[in-house]
Amino acid sequence: MAIRSVIQHHSPADYVARERVAEIKSEYIDGEIVAMAGGSRAHSLIAGNVLVALRAALGDRPCEVHGSDLRVGMATSGFYTYPDVTVVCGEATFEDGVEDTLLNPVVIVEVLSPTTEAYDRGLKFARYRLLPSLREYVLVAQDRPHVERYTRGESGWLPHQADGMGAMVEIPALGCTLALAEIFAKVGFGQSG
């Protein structure tokens, strides 16, 4: 007798209710709840560096910078996720009064890993593009000093790249520039390239 795997589909409301009491974070993709894997040391350092650099660069502007504990939701497209870094400017809009599911991020940053890179570039980016508020999507490598930034333009999403520890990455949606040396501080690969 063959064993069949049964995939149970959940509504967005069921997912959010489960997630609020769960001990382990999960993403929601088209009715399926998918547990998130842990990250590496480099991933953690980079995400923390980006968060701190953005907070410092934004100063007292009316923007909030959040780490991976704040969920971004899109119930209408069947997608909830925890970006590595999320920035919202102006008034934050949440799914409900609990204020744990942000609906209007302006910038999302994902740190790439071998197991998530295809997902971050593919399905995740496709869903993020459905957020009307999103202006910049930033992908940060963790194996070398390299950042890709995608900016929403009139004719679609325009790519930009920054390479090497001496490079800078502009984030026009926030009116700031970050040094790759700051993003990759203490990561442990060579200081050039």
**Total domains, the chain:** 1
Q: What residues contact residue 154 under an 8 Å CB cut-off, 6+ apart?
A: none
Residue type, 33: I
Is this model's pTM higher than 0.85 or not? Answer: yes
- Among 73, 65, 92, 69, CA closest to 16: 73
169 domain-assigned = yes
Beta strand pairing call for 136-140 and 146-153:
antiparallel
Element at 125 (helix H, strand E): helix 123-128
Q: Domain of 108? A: 39-183
Domain with residue 110: its CATH number is 3.90.1570.10
Whether 70 maps to a domain, the answer reads yes
- The widest CA-to-CA distance across the chain, in whole angstroms, is 64
40: which residues sit within 8 A by CB, 6+ positions away? 113, 142
pLDDT, one tens digit for every residue, the chain (193 residues): 444 444 568 899 999 999 999 988 999 999 998 888 778 899 999 999 999 999 999 999 999 999 999 999 987 888 999 999 999 999 999 999 999 999 999 999 999 998 889 999 999 999 999 999 999 999 999 999 999 999 999 999 999 999 999 999 999 999 999 999 999 999 987 443 3
- Copy the structure tokens of residue 185: 């501080």
Residue 14 lies in a domain: no
Q: Is residue 136 part of a domain?
A: yes
The label of the residue with tokens 């991976």 reads 68
Nearest to 148 by CA among 171, 173, 122, 116: 171
Contact, 114 vs 136, CB < 8 A? no
> Cα separation of 51 and 169, whole Å?
14
Could you tell me if residue 11 is inside a domain?
no
List Cβ neighbours of 63 (8 Å cut-off, separation of 6 or more).
87, 88, 89, 90, 106, 174
Q: What is the dihedral of CA 132, 135, 140, 145, to 10 degrees?
A: 170
Residues pairing with 146 in the sheet: 163
